[in-house]
Structure 1
């Protein structure tokens, strides 16, 4: 099973691009995550984790999540291999994110997207309480 959940802050604004041909949106960003222990001198080590997310979540991330925002990312670890310009084989590890969730409001973080209030849910088939029939059944099994 390859599953990872990370909580950290974006180090800079996400970068959005589109895959040529399909037009699928892809956003890349880096999370800064402090380790859960302190060094002997009392300092904390920070890891910088590259992430990539595709589709609708990529557009959301690029438009409403900015530098410094605290987010949770759920995805998997991916190792990409390539040949460098010098002819050597190289590998690059990143998180292929499937879901991203902001863990603080834009107003609190003071970053991009301050006017974003989150997705609105508007039910299409609203039934008022007066449309229900009252059931008077004395034969209730409990």
Structure 2
């Protein structure tokens, strides 16, 4: 069984592309995940995991999640390879392929909009009102 669940922060905004023949949307981005332990220098190490999202979820990612947002995703590990055209060497890379991404916090734009909300003041300043 090949199944993985990850929670991490986007290192940059997702890139949205479309597969030429089918028109299927594909979003790619990288998430940063801190390891559970501290190294000899007293610092946590971070893994940077490449992610590929396909279908409507890819369009969701491109529209609603941005750099720094905490996301959860469920997918599978894929190991792909290609031949470098310049050197002729075979290159192997690993990524997480998923169709399920959930933002665990609002986008930065929403946070900025909330900060711009004016302070509301009470219309009645009557201590006898219980609410």
TM-score above 0.5: yes
Aligned to 1:105: 106
Cα 1:27/1:38, change in 2 over 3 Å: same
SS of the residue 1:51 aligns to: strand
Aligned to 1:58: 58
The normalised TM-score by structure 2 is 0.81
* Deviation digits for residues 49-73 of structure 1 (CA, Å, limit 9, x no counterpart): 0000000000000000000000001
Give ranges in structure 1 of 5+ residues lacking alignment: 116-142
Deviation at 1:112, TM superposition (A): 7.3
Aligned to 2:127: none
Q: How many residues align?
A: 112
Give ranges in structure 2 of 5+ residues lacking alignment: 114-131
Matched, 1:10 2:3: no
Deviation at 1:111, TM superposition (A): 4.7
Aligned to 2:79: 79
Query: Counterparts of 1:56 and 1:113 in 2: how far apart (Å)?
Result: 24
After the TM superposition, list the runs of 4 or more consecutive aligned residues in structure 1 that deviate by more than 3 angstroms. 111-115
* Deviation digits for residues 1-42 of structure 1 (CA, Å, limit 9, x no counterpart): 000000000000000000002110000000000001111221
Question: Is this contact kept in 2: 1:66–1:113, CA < 8 A?
Answer: no
Counting only pairs closer than 5 Å after superposition, residues 1-142 of structure 1 correspond to structure 2 as 1-85=1-85, 86-106=87-107, 110-111=108-109
Superposition CA RMSD, Å: 1.6
Cα 1:111/1:6, change in 2 over 3 Å: farther
